[in-house]
Amino acid sequence: MMIKISEIGCFPKTIEEAKVQLVIGSRILSNEGIVDSYGHISVRNPEDPETFLQSRSLAADIVTLDDILVMDFEGNVLEGPEGARPYWENVLHGRIFAARSDVGCVFHGHPLEVHPFTVMPDMPPLPVKNSGGVFYNGYGYYDSPAGSDMTVKTVEEADDVAAALGDKWAVLMRCHGVTAASENIPQMIVDMIAMVQNASVYTDCLKMGITPKFCSPEEGLAYRTSHHAEKPLLRAWEYYVRRAKRAIEDIRDM
């Protein structure tokens, strides 16, 4: 019998639950416009925390349970469909899991609303919405090596991104996109939607010539703490699950 997403809660307890949550999370990110043909998430394996799960190299809108790979923290495929090719940047996910034991989910993508801030290292998308306060301690900044195509394909490059992330929950990548970390997939969905919405509102403020009065780090931390509690987090997660199921026929039974 297929595991239902409504039975899992915030933290999957088995690899099968993690796979279901990963598929649904991928579809939500696509449905909400956070990713397009590129962009991906991963989840730490609840049965073996020194490995992680991620789809093979596919657009997020078509990821299924049969596409999930198990990998080590250097991006080597340990389990999955024969011949399945992982994402180029799978090692980016692995090295963040290796560096941060508090991280259960990693996102990498290229939302256009956030992109202007990737080329302005002195102007990160500070919180002008209280929900943007989930990134209360700011953003790391990663500048790709000169002459590269700016994708992160090696352990050394991925370690540099993880170092730029540090103890923060997101790192902006020059002319490229953003990589974010969270404790679980529901958090990641809610946080990335908040990041994109906040960046959009901040851009509107700049267009109006306004100097915003930002949320303080203390206010942001208070918001993150209260809204990452299980009840409010599941309320938001279940809302986005319902939206995705209404829009995408092949996940309606999950």
**Dist. CA 63–CA 81, nearest whole Å:** 13
Supply the mean pLDDT for the chain: 96
User: What is the CATH code for 5-248?
Assistant: 3.40.225.10
Predicted TM-score of the model (pTM): 0.96
Q: What pLDDT does residue 144 have?
A: 85
pLDDT tens digits along 129-166: 999 999 999 999 999 876 688 899 999 999 999 999 99
pLDDT at 17 (0 to 100): 98
Q: In what order do the strands lie in the sheet with 68-72?
A: 77-79, 68-72, 51-55, 40-44, 105-109, 177-182, 170-173, 140-142
pLDDT digits (tens, 9 = 90+) for 52-110: 999 999 999 999 999 999 999 999 999 999 999 999 999 999 999 999 999 999 999 99
Amino acid identity of 77? V
R_g over Cα of the chain: 17
Position 177 confidence tier, pLDDT thresholds 50, 70, 90? very high
Residue with tokens 């267009």: 207
List, in sequence order, every beta strand (DSSP E) within 143-205.
170-173, 177-182
Q: What is the pLDDT of residue 61?
A: 97
Question: Tell me, what's the pLDDT at 1?
Answer: 63
Residue 18 to residue 227: CA distance in whole angstroms: 22
